[in-house]
Structure 1
């Protein structure tokens, strides 16, 4: 496998720093996680965006969150068609095996995936519209929600609202999974929709009764 290269030196240095400090100070906890397994109370579905750091936002330690990241924090609808479904598999494992109590979808401001979907909906992204675009086909999940923001004239405001709709779309799609719907109705699982403003550090939570995101 000649194409695999050694780790960049700056990452090697950071690893040794972590091993000598954070790990050394918490060896007992790490070894307990290794021997006893994980028991996270919550799963978080967030965007791949490097600016979204879930554990930092909530001050979480190792073992607290079962985290899945993908483009624009989207969940596809339930589709047991035999194809590859990384997000669906992760959700299934979290709910049916780990028995998490909370499932959180976390959206964010300045989301490139959501902006790409806007561009597609406006006919400005022929590359994403191509059949061989993995990003474009993934963002097709969100396209049906564009009608809800299509009349917003201000581009920034439209994008921020569409980012929130991406969270709502994922919550709705989660409920199409039978094992999730059953767990929610049985009060063993709760769903939560959040949106964070990267620049301001703000956090909003979706209120389904009001149909709005409210500041936390």
Structure 2
């Protein structure tokens, strides 16, 4: 494959620095993880956004989280159509193979994917309406969330839709039979979070109040 190139030098230097320090200082731990397999307690579904650093937010070590990232941290509804589904496969593996005790859906502020959905649904992003747009078709998952925020003042809709995306994903998770069964058997709990990346704040969805509250 002639178009594949070696890593940029700055990434090579960072890797070599990590291996000489963090890895060498914890070599036995890394080898134990490699030999014993992974046993994460939680799956985290987060956005691809480079500003959302899941392990840093929770101070997590290797082996703690099974992390899946996609545009806007969305989970599609369950569809058993024999086609490849990356996010659905990750959820299936986490619940049925790894037996995670928690699934955390983590949304965030200034989410480009959510804004794309907002603009597409508002008719100001026609390029996302094209069938050839992978982003647009992925953001179709969030269309029900857009309908819910329409009654709000325009300046409140984006943040509300970011949090609404978390709720849409949680609702869709419960359409997966193995997720629903694990929740009903108290083997699995679902959690919805929203991270304000600029302020370093975290809010969680409180079903009793039907709103996001500070953690």
For this structure pair, what is the TM-score category when the shorter chain's length is used for normalisation?
Answer: over 0.9
Displacement of 1:147 in angstroms is: 1.7
The residue matched to 1:194 in structure 2 has which SS? strand
Q: CA deviation at 1:154?
A: 3.6
SS in 2 for 1:146: helix
Deviations 1:10-69 (A, max 9, x none): 000000000000001000010000000000000000000000000000000000000000
Match of 1:209 in 2: 208
Q: Which moved more, 1:78-87 or 1:143-152?
A: 143-152
Residue of structure 1 in register with 2:12 after alignment: 12
Structure 1 equivalent of residue 30 of structure 2: 30
Query: Which secondary structure state, in structure 1, belongs to the residue aligned with residue 179 of structure 2?
Result: helix
Distance in 2, matches of 1:28 and 1:60, equals 18
Root mean square deviation, CA, Å: 0.7
- Give the whole-Å Cα distance in 2 for the aligned partners of 1:116 and 1:7: 31
Comparing 70-79 and 140-149, the one that deviates more: 140-149
The Cα of 1:153 is off from its aligned counterpart by 2.6
Partners in 1 of 2:206 and 2:175 — Cα distance? 19
TM-score, length-normalised on structure 2?
A: 0.99
Q: Distance in 2 between matches of 1:106 and 1:21?
A: 30
24-33 or 146-155, which deviates more? 146-155
Distance 2:36 2:147 in 1: 48
Aligned to 2:97: 97
Residue 136 of structure 1, CA deviation: 0.1
| Partner of residue 170, structure 2 | 171
Tell me, which stretches of 5 or more residues in structure 2 are unaligned? none
Counterpart of 1:52 in structure 2 is: 52
1:62 matched to 2:62:
yes
Give distance in 1, aligned partners of 2:176 and 2:154.
Answer: 35
Give 1:208 shift: 1.4
Gaps of 5+ in 1: none
Deviating 4+ runs (over 3 angstroms): none
What is the TM-score when the length of structure 1 is the normalising length?
0.98
CA deviation map 1:114-139 (0-9, x unaligned):
00000011100011000010000000
CA distance in 1, matches of 2:175, 2:55: 28
Offset at 1:210? 1.4
Task: Tell me how far 1:97 sits from its aligned partner.
Answer: 0.4
Q: How many residues align?
A: 215
